[in-house]
């Protein structure tokens, strides 16, 4: 009889717990207006009902009883912003040892950097980020998992883990004496089919959500030509095909025209930087639906005083090409997703990418779409990027009208992620 009473009491507790989930207190957000990013329309008023981390209703005829109400008078609501090119475990801007960080710091240091920097990006309004790779050790994967567990507060992450690079290429660690930081396929440094298969499979094993390949040389590495193609056409195809077998899309760092075209033809999801686009490349990208992630705000920034001479020289060479590529992309209505390259600059300044694009001719609506519906499309997800019933309750609030002044996005007043108010400066 005693055992039966214990059993009945346990069943009652289970019922109460399950009932608590069902009748979770809704959160109601009211504001002056919200932006329909698909139609490009501001809709007033904005009454958003959030339940269990999702947007339940918009502008209902009634407010659910027993709901918690947050009033954001005079504010505009937008979907949570998304940055498709960030480095939240890397610090290239706050000290003078960024060229030696790979041998002076450890994955523990980089993960701790990520705790701070990912929170800065979330506070700036970026509720989802695609992390474009870091130093070896999967610190970005550890960060993603800590955020998902709720151990720390940060944006939703799509981490790339280790860069995939040729030996001695842009994303290898170079410049040190032989024997120091010599990397292989497990750290993403791979040449030829066998090593590439091992590198990608090892990445997939450890939980990456995107593959980052360095298809060409770059600016922040040794070498004379920032645009030289580094993987062969065949190797790029192997990378894309093997990644697809693991359900992973490929983002390709690419500056030079030949490397960009080769990566596009191989089937990558996006071209990062894309400094030397041509009309032929753009036609190919449009046919395949390839995205362009311009990271254009970097062109407005001075390099740190300790920057090596080879980087300064390549940066100055690329600057006019970068401007021309962006103009071409706009002219031909190429798919564009916002990416800041945060980590090369301060992470909180990812928000400055909006104005950098708009002042070069992009409309404010297009800039916002690049960080919402376009970013969601690039990620291959359908649960975010709009304020719409059934979507994740990832929402930001700003004062003013971002369709009239895009710089209102540089001062996000409220950040909501999954129905939880993360940051409220109102």
Which residue segments constitute the domains of the chain, with CATH numbers given? 2-79+386-424 (2.30.40.10), 81-379 (3.20.20.140)
Q: Which residue has the tokens 């109460």?
A: 16
User: Residue 4's pLDDT band (boundaries 50, 70, 90)?
Assistant: very low
For residues 15 and 28, the model is more confident at 28
Which of 227, 338, 231, 358 is CA-nearest to residue 281? Answer: 227
Residue 73 CA to residue 285 CA, distance in Å, equals 43
Which of 282, 305, 399 is CA-nearest to residue 96? Answer: 305
Pull the structure tokens for residue 285: 């990208």
Residue 70 CA to residue 350 CA, distance in Å, equals 27
134 close to 140: Cβ distance less than 8 angstroms: yes
User: Residue 155's pLDDT band (boundaries 50, 70, 90)?
Assistant: very high
Identify any residues that bridge with 385 across adjacent strands, giving them in sequence order. none
pLDDT at 10: 40
Position 197 pLDDT exceeds 80: yes
- List, for residues 274-312, the tens digit of each pLDDT value: 999 999 999 999 999 999 999 999 999 887 777 777 777
User: Residue 154's pLDDT band (boundaries 50, 70, 90)?
Assistant: very high
360 close to 323: Cβ distance less than 8 angstroms: yes
Angstrom distances, CA of residue 301 to CA of 240, 344, 345: 33, 10, 8
Q: What percent of the chain has pLDDT over 70?
A: 91
Q: Of the ranges 21-25, 197-201, 288-292, 396-400, which one carries the lowest mean pLDDT score?
A: 21-25
Angstrom distances, CA of residue 119 to CA of 86, 95, 113, 129, 287: 13, 20, 10, 11, 37
Arithmetic mean of pLDDT, 232-257: 97
Average per-residue pLDDT for the chain = 90
For residues 10 and 150, the model is more confident at 150
User: Residue 220's pLDDT band (boundaries 50, 70, 90)?
Assistant: low
Q: Determine the number of helices (DSSP H) and then strands (DSSP E) in the chain.
A: 12, 15
Q: Of the ranges 79-83, 103-107, 339-343, which one carries the lowest mean pLDDT score?
A: 103-107
User: Residue 424's pLDDT band (boundaries 50, 70, 90)?
Assistant: low
Q: Residue 312, CB half-sphere, CA atoms under 13 Å: how many? A: 8
pLDDT at 100: 79
Is-cis flag, bond preceding 67, omega within 30?
A: no
Residue 257 CA to residue 239 CA, distance in Å, equals 19
User: Residue 373's pLDDT band (boundaries 50, 70, 90)?
Assistant: very high
For residues 223 and 150, the model is more confident at 150
Parallel, antiparallel or unpaired: strands 54-58 and 395-399: unpaired
pTM for the full model? Answer: 0.91
Residue 248 CA to residue 269 CA, distance in Å, equals 10
Q: Annotated active-site positions, please? A: 212, 341
Pull the structure tokens for residue 228: 């030289």
Position 264 pLDDT exceeds 60: yes
Angstrom distances, CA of residue 393 to CA of 53, 54, 66, 420: 6, 5, 19, 8
Arithmetic mean of pLDDT, 115-133: 97
Q: Which residues contact 245 (CB under 8 A, 6 or more apart)?
A: none
Residue 357 CB coordination number (10 Å)? 24
244 close to 264: Cβ distance less than 8 angstroms: no
**What is the separation, in whole angstroms, between the first and last Cα of the chain?**
58
pLDDT at 177: 84
Q: Residue 151, CB half-sphere, CA atoms under 13 Å: how many? A: 10
Residue 334 CB coordination number (10 Å)? 22
Arithmetic mean of pLDDT, 261-276: 97
263 close to 277: Cβ distance less than 8 angstroms: no
- List, for residues 40-77, the tens digit of each pLDDT value: 999 999 999 999 999 999 999 888 888 999 999 999 99
Arithmetic mean of pLDDT, 145-161: 97
Q: Of the ranges 9-23, 103-117, 214-228, 337-351, which one carries the lowest mean pLDDT score?
A: 9-23
Q: What percent of the chain has pLDDT over 90?
A: 76
Q: Of the ranges 222-231, 291-300, 319-328, which one carries the lowest mean pLDDT score?
A: 222-231
Question: Going along 274-382, which residue ranges are E strands?
Answer: 291-293
Position 231 pLDDT exceeds 70: yes
pLDDT at 375: 98
Residue 379 CA to residue 337 CA, distance in Å, equals 10
pLDDT at 98: 65
pLDDT at 18: 42
Burial 73-86 (b: 16+ CB within 10 A, else e): eebbbbbbbbbbbb
Identify any residues that bridge with 384 across adjacent strands, giving them in sequence order. none
User: Residue 19's pLDDT band (boundaries 50, 70, 90)?
Assistant: very low
User: Residue 223's pLDDT band (boundaries 50, 70, 90)?
Assistant: low
**DSSP 8-state class, residue 385:** S
Task: Report the alpha-carbon angle 358-394-110, nearest 5.
Answer: 80
**Residue-by-residue DSSP string for 166-215:** -TTSTTS--SSPTTSS---GGGTB--HHHHHHHHHHHHHHTT-SSEEEE-
């Amino acid at each position: 009889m005693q055992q039966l009473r214990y059993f009945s009491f346990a069943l009652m507790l289970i019922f109460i717990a399950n009932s608590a989930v069902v009748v979770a207190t809704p959160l109601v957000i009211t504001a002056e207006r919200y932006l329909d990013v698909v139609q490009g329309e501001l809709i007033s008023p904005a009454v958003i009902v959030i339940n269990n981390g999702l947007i339940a209703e918009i502008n209902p005829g009634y407010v659910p009883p027993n709901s918690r109400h947050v009033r954001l008078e005079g504010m505009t609501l937008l979907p949570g912003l998304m940055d498709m090119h960030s480095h939240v475990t890397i610090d290239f801007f706050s000290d003078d040892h960024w060229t030696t960080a790979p041998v002076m710091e450890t994955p523990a240091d980089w993960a701790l950097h990520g705790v701070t920097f990912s929170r800065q990006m979330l506070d700036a309004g970026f509720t989802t980020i695609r992390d474009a790779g870091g130093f070896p050790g999967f610190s970005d994967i550890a960060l993603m998992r800590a955020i998902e567990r709720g151990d720390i507060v940060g944006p939703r992450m799509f981490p790339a883990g280790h860069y995939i690079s040729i030996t001695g290429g842009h994303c290898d660690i170079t410049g040190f004496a032989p024997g120091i930081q010599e990397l292989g396929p497990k750290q993403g440094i791979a040449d030829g089919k066998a090593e590439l298969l091992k590198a990608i499979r090892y990445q997939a094993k450890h939980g990456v959500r995107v593959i980052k390949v360095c298809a060409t040389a770059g600016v922040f590495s040794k070498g004379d030509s920032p645009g030289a193609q580094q993987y062969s056409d065949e190797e790029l195809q192997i990378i894309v095909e093997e990644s697809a077998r693991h359900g992973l899309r490929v983002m390709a760092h690419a500056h030079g025209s030949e490397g960009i075209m080769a990566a596009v033809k191989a089937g990558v999801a996006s071209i990062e930087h894309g400094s030397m686009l041509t009309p032929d490349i753009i036609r190919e990208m449009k046919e395949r639906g390839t995205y362009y992630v311009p990271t254009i705000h970097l062109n407005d920034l001075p390099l740190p005083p300790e920057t090596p001479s080879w980087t300064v020289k390549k940066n100055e060479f690329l600057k006019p090409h970068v401007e021309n590529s962006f103009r071409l992309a706009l002219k031909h209505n190429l798919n564009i997703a916002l990416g800041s390259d945060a980590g090369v600059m301060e992470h909180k300044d990812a928000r400055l990418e909006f104005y950098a694009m708009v002042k070069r001719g992009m409309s404010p609506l297009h800039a916002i779409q690049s960080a919402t519906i376009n970013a969601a499309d690039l990620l291959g997800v359908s649960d975010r990027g709009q304020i719409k019933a059934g979507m994740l309750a990832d929402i930001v609030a700003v004062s003013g009208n971002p369709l009239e002044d895009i710089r209102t996005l540089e001062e996000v007043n409220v950040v909501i992620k999954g129905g939880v108010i993360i940051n409220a400066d109102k």
